[in-house]
Amino acid sequence: MATDLLTITDLHVSVDDKPILRGVNLRMQRGETHALMGPNGSGKSTLGLALMGHPKYVVTQGAIELNGVDLLAMEADARARAGIFMAFQRPVAIPGVKMADFLRHATTNVRFPDRKEGEQLIPMKDFRKELRAKMDHLRMDVEFARRYVNDGFSGGEMKRAEILQMAMLQPKFAILDETDSGLDADAVRLASESIAEIGRNNMGLLIITHHDKLLEHNPPDFTHVMLGGRIVETGGVELAAELYSQGYDRIRRTYPEAEAENRAMLDHDEPQLSAVERE
Amino acid sequence: MTTALQPFGFDTDSFEAFLAQRAEPDWLLSMRRQSWDTYSKLAWPTRDHEEWIRTDIRTFRIENFRPPIQAPPASVAPPGLLTREVELAGACVSINSHSTSHWLAPQLASKGVLFGSLPELLADNADRLRPHLERQIVLPGYDKFAALTSAFWIGGQLLFVPRGVRVELPLHSLAALTADGVDLQKTLVILEEGAEATMLSETASLSVDVEAGNVVGSAPAESRGLHAGITEIVQGAGSRLRYVNLQNWGTGVWHFAHQKARLERDAGLQWTLAALGGKTAKVNQQVELAGKRSECQVNGVMFTEGRQHFSYHTLQHHQAPETRSDFLYKSALQDKSRTVWRGMIKVDPAAQKTDGYQRNDNLLLSDTSRADSIPGLEIEADDVRCTHGSTSGNVEEELIFYACSRGLTRREAVRLIVTGFFQQVLDRITIPSVRDALVNAIAQRVREYR
């Protein structure tokens, strides 16, 4: 059976006319787990946001294709309906919008990509049942569904809410941007296990992380190292282990040109989703 | 003699002709004449007046309108927005100031509740209602519109709930205007000691087939109209009122409203004020917390679009100790529309231990809309807690992107964010049909953002 394929070819991305990615190549099959590692400012989040279609992340060159279909021609909502998902590092709050209402709308659109605005949402009863089951699974209190999206959530709650959304939307490919950051050890373990159960074998996972816990539960088939807006090295699970225990010194020495670009980029602040992280 | 006669305009001849056909008691006619005198002496407000600096009514011409002395060209109005699937205790409808239908559950009538058209109820209860009409908590001399309404009111509603009577189900009133119609009305809501009631009141513009006298739908948006109204709410000790006002005229209607409530000891008022329609709306909303421990919550929900201009002047006047007021207004503005909100918390020297709160939040859905927000405090007591604040801002692109990344279209995302913006104030409204009506009306109005 042919599996879904996401290909990124020679991708160049600028933010506010400042080049951040300078020729990224990546090929992922559904069912594979890829770790994306690299020092701060190397462009990991930028790759994720460009994949998801953030309007500020302008692709100046290259291609992103899902099963040969051009994703760059699609807005973010169409990409979501095509099966792309991103768990954000710092998800924004939407005051006044209940998690359950938001997710019911999102789930309907993603499951019925041809739905027109204003058409029926999936029935409340079925949706509630499914949501409750998934929340039980993630050990989330039912009260969570009645709270406003990310509004006043702790860091841990936000990350779990992102995983819950991934569980409901069942994407083909998911980008997890530091879904383990800002969590205590127990919360990291829970998040890691949940991602493994929901995602592994079923989705293509692109995991951006600094920690080893997440990768312990989700051993990568491939590890990519970013530096200065490029993937400079790709290896297996052993590369992730090396980077975790020994850091990026070897990488920096081996790729001095990319290292220089990385330093230049760090002089500017890398734009991020604007919400303040509440821990 | 070359005097230009305007026998149907708002002049002294037409006023006298109007009085001659009213068959009202002398005390009322004399009140009307006094107000007419005030009206004649007052100038139309201009931008030199404090309250009108930001509100331009130079294109308003009273000559373009006729006093609505004749019966309306239709007798049936469409159902309101606020009462979907709501069981009512009574309802009344007026078109162009004239009552066209009203009913009240007989068991309430037998307890002494009065509800319906003020002029009709006045005919049978003149002596009983006299003190309530003479009270005039909205001063006829406040401005030219208050004077005009005090002199020339033709329609309006009365709700009177006697001491200790609890009206469980809501009462509904709908005031409608046809093209070029005029709604000149006085509304009195009187709750005696310990009484309780819920009143839902709304307005609409109608399109009428004049030949057949049938309503054929809502009016063309731009059709001209005038509303000048006075609403007086007077609550006795310990009474409880939930009052909802939805201004939903077509966008060609001038709306000039004076609304004031006075609360005695331990009285409670939850007042929801929603505004969606009208061309230019100038509203004075005042609450006097006259009795100890009286409390008032105001929930304002406004959505403007096109070239609509809404101007709200609110006063929460703490006159007695331990009173509480909590005013929250939220507006979303689309296109070239504009809102002005000027709120004042006034605390008299006697009103110790009061708690006053006011807040106005504005969400700008276009670069060409504008919201002016001017909160104010005037405090003469030293042991009080008063807070106020206001915000204005755009829909954040990051919120839109977040929702889009979950599969919502841009427009769905903006709608969700806009209704979310209103949720805080909607959550305070304890009547589900009102909440639903407002959410739907707002969601329908939100268009593509940028």
**Domains of chain B, residue spans:** 12-291
Measured between beta carbons, the chain B residues lying within 8 angstroms of A275 are 398
- Asked if A54 lies within 8 A of B424 by C-beta distance, the reply is no
C-alpha angle B92/B98/B100, rounded to 5°?
A: 45
Rounded mean pLDDT of chain A? 91
According to DSSP, residue B166 is labeled B
CB contacts < 8 A (A, B): 90
Measured between beta carbons, the chain A residues lying within 8 angstroms of B417 are 94, 97
DSSP symbols for B208-249: EETTTTEEEEEPPTT-EEEEEEEEEEEE-TT-EEEEEEEE--
Strands A5-15 and A57-66: antiparallel
Nearest-CA neighbor of A10 among A1, A2, A21? A21
Measured between beta carbons, the chain B residues lying within 8 angstroms of A54 are 401, 405
Half-sphere exposure (CA, 13 Å, Cβ side) for B101?
Answer: 11
Mean pLDDT of B269-285: 97
CB contact set of B202 (below 8 Å; sequence gap of 6+)? B80, B81, B82, B172, B173, B174, B175, B244, B245, B246, B247, B248
Spatial separation of the C-alpha atoms in residues B379 and B27, rounded to whole Å: 38
According to DSSP, residue B109 is labeled H
B195-247 confidence digits (pLDDT tens):
999 999 999 998 766 666 566 666 666 789 999 999 999 999 999 999 999 99
Q: What's chain A's length in residues?
A: 279
Share of chain B above pLDDT 90, in %: 88
Rounded to 10 deg, the angle between the B144-152 and B26-41 helix axes is 150
pLDDT at A270 over 60: no
Task: Provide the terminal-to-terminal Cα distance of chain B, rounded to the nearest Å.
Answer: 60
> What is the phi-psi region of residue A140: left when phi exceeds 0, alpha when psi lies from -120 to 50, beta otherwise?
beta
Rounded mean pLDDT of chain B? 93
pLDDT at B117 over 90: yes
Helix (H) / strand (E) containing B449: none
Q: Helix (H, G, I), strand (E, B), or coil: what is residue A276?
A: coil
B125-180 confidence digits (pLDDT tens):
999 999 999 999 999 999 999 999 999 999 999 999 999 999 999 999 999 999 99
Cα–Cα separations (whole angstroms), residue B392 to A116, B339, B372:
32, 11, 9
- Asked if A148 lies within 8 A of B401 by C-beta distance, the reply is no
Mean pLDDT of B313-329: 98
Q: CA gyration radius for chain B?
A: 22
A140-190 confidence digits (pLDDT tens):
898 999 999 999 998 889 999 999 999 999 999 999 999 888 788 888 888
Q: Which domains does chain A have, with CATH numbers?
A: 5-266 (3.40.50.300)
- The distance of B272 to chain A (nearest Cα, Å) reads 19
DSSP symbols for A115-172: PPTTSPPSPHHHHHHHHHHHHHHTT--GGGGGSEETTT--HHHHHHHHHHHHHHH--S
Q: Six-digit token pair at B294?
A: 């009286």
Q: Of A54, A97, A148, which is closest to B401 when you measure between CB atoms?
A: A54
Q: Helix (H, G, I), strand (E, B), or coil: what is residue B28?
A: helix
Spatial separation of the C-alpha atoms in residues B226 and B255, rounded to whole Å: 6
Cα–Cα separations (whole angstroms), residue B306 to B206, B279, B311, B362:
20, 9, 15, 16
pLDDT at B2 over 60: no
Q: Six-digit token pair at B80?
A: 């309101």
